[in-house]
Amino acid sequence: MKTNKYKSPIFLFYALVFYVFAQFLWWWYLIFNLNQKLYSTQEFQNKKFWMIFGEGLVFFVLLLIGIIAVRRAFKKQEHLNKKEENFLLSVSHELKTPIASVQLFLQTLQKHKQLTNDEKNKIYNNALHEVKRLDSIVTNILLARQIEGGESILQKEPTLVHEFIQNKIDIFKTTIAKNHNLTCQLDEVNAKIDKMSFDSVLTNIVENSIKYSEQGKNITVELIAKSNNFILRITDHGKGIKNENKAHVFNKFYREENDLTRKTKGTGLGMFIVKHIVNKHKGTIQLKDNQTQGLIVEIEIPN
Q: Which fold has domain 157-302?
A: Heat Shock Protein 90 (3.30.565)
157-302 and 1-152 share a CATH fold: no
Question: What confidence score (pLDDT) does residue 240 get?
Answer: 85
Q: What is the mean pLDDT of residues 248-259?
A: 70
CA 61 centroid distance within chain: 36
CA 9 centroid distance within chain: 27
Q: Which residue has the higher pLDDT, 79 or 236?
A: 236
pTM of the model: 0.63
Q: What is the mean pLDDT of residues 236-258?
A: 79
What are the residues whose beta carbons fall under 8 Å from the beta carbon of 182, sequence distance 6 or more?
Answer: 169, 172, 173, 206, 219, 221
Give 131-171 pLDDT, tens digit per residue: 887 887 787 777 777 777 776 678 899 999 999 999 999 98
Q: Report d(CA 129, CA 127) in Å as an integer.
A: 5
> Would you say residue 49 has pLDDT above 90?
no
Per domain, the residue ranges of the chain are 1-152, 157-302
> Would you say residue 36 has pLDDT above 70?
no
CATH 1.10.510.10 corresponds to the domain 1-152: no
> Would you say residue 45 has pLDDT above 80?
no
The most confident of 91-95, 228-232, 267-271, by mean pLDDT: 228-232
In the chain, which residue ranges form alpha helices assigned H by DSSP? 9-38, 42-111, 117-148, 161-174, 195-211, 259-263, 270-280
- Name the least confident of 24-33, 66-75, 219-228, 234-243: 24-33
Are 32 and 52 within 8 A, CB to CB? Answer: yes
> Would you say residue 65 has pLDDT above 70?
yes
